[in-house]
Amino acid sequence: MTFLGVVDSITSVFRKSPFATGGSLTAGLLALGVISDLGGAGQFMCQQSWFRPVCSVLHLQGVASPAEQKMWDSAAKGQTCDGYRTYIATYADGEFASQATARLTAARRIESETFLAPQDFVLPVAHRADLTPYPTEAAARAAALASAESYARDTTCAGYASGEFRLKGVRVEADGWTCRSYRGGTICGFDQGKAVCTVSARTISVAEDCSVR
């Protein structure tokens, strides 16, 4: 922009300023002072709210351009870390770079815990017949399965009950049954069973919070 163009831009703002009665000559002198920063005039004028639009359009004294101001306003309103990073990446030496950096530095880490959908893990298990007789073979098998499931929960599947996992359920599927008569009843065991451990794995997600409190 030419010097006369600068003067015209400043004059349009100047007419609304506290110095409006001084005429265009004063506006021209102010323009010269702002551009050359004589006696710190540029810095002083660009700090005035009524003159800031001119400094913004001409990008004087480090005042944000309209595009930069729009991006900063959006970042400050959203208060997201990504918004501040985008601003810094675009305007590394921008007017609000130090503020954006400070908010990123002060960001809080927020951790949230969730568990994935349960999955089945299959492990081998066997159960020797205990010496408690039951009136029927069905009752003896049911008792053997219940005992095997208790064992699987406490031992076979126990590794999935803590840390990064949650044990949601245990069931035993038996094969290779051996049943026999004992003391007027029936006892049963099996040697080809499998313990099905239903497990949900824990995941930790981390988010950043750059909001101002």
Rg, C-alpha atoms of the chain: 39
Q: Is residue 82 situated within a structural domain? A: yes
Using CA atoms, how far apart are residues 104 and 69, in angstroms rounded to an integer? 19
Evaluate whether residue 45 is within a structural domain: yes
For residues 170 and 184, membership in a common domain is answered with yes
Give a yes or no: residue 127 inside a domain.
yes
Do 199 and 148 belong together in one domain? yes
- Amino acid identity, position 121: F
Residues 8 and 39 in one domain: yes
Interval 77-134: pLDDT, tens: 999 999 999 999 999 999 999 999 999 999 999 989 899 999 999 999 999 999 999 9
Output 87 or 7, whichever has higher pLDDT.
Answer: 87
Tell whether 77 and 158 lie within a shared domain: no
- pLDDT per residue over 14-56, tens digit each? 555 554 554 444 454 455 455 555 556 677 778 787 778 878 8
Are 124 and 197 in the same domain?
yes
Angle at 35 between CA 29 and CA 41, to 5 degrees: 65
Same structural domain, 124 and 200? yes
Number of domains in the chain: 3
- With a threshold of 0.75, does the pTM exceed it? no
Furthest-apart CA pair in the chain: how many Å? 122
Residues 74 and 59 in one domain: no
Is residue 212 assigned to a domain? no
Query: Range of 152's domain?
Result: 115-204
- Within 13 Å and on the Cβ side, how many CA atoms surround 204? 7
Q: Residue 209 falls within a domain, yes or no?
A: no
Tell me whether residue 213 is in a domain. Answer: no
